[in-house]
Amino acid sequence: MEFKDNEAIYLQIAGYLGEHILVGKWAEEQKIPSVRELAVTLEVNPNTVMRAYEFMQNQEVIYNKRGLGFFVSPYGANKVRAFRKARFMEEELPVLFRNMTLVGIGLEEVRAEFEKYIAKINS
Helix (H, G, I), strand (E, B) or coil at 23: coil
Q: For residues 49 and 103, what is the distance between their CA atoms, to the nearest angstrom?
A: 40
Taking the chain (123 residues) in runs of 10, the rounded mean pLDDT of each run is 91 97 96 97 97 98 96 97 96 96 96 95 90
Q: What pLDDT was estimated at residue 1?
A: 83
Say which residues have a Cβ less than 8 Å from residue 51's Cβ, sequence separation at least 6: 10
Distances 23 to 19, 28, 31, 46, 80 between C-alpha atoms, Å: 6, 12, 15, 24, 11
- CATH number of the domain that residue 104 is part of: 1.10.10.10
| Residue 5: Cβ-neighbour burial (10 angstroms; 0-12, 13-18, 19+) | exposed
The predicted structure's pLDDT at residue 73: 97
pLDDT score for 3: 93
Q: Which structural domain range is residue 96 located in?
A: 1-123
User: Domain tally for the chain?
Assistant: 1
Q: What is the DSSP string of 39-61?
A: HHHHTS-HHHHHHHHHHHHHTTS
- Model confidence, pTM: 0.84
Tally the residues of the chain.
Answer: 123
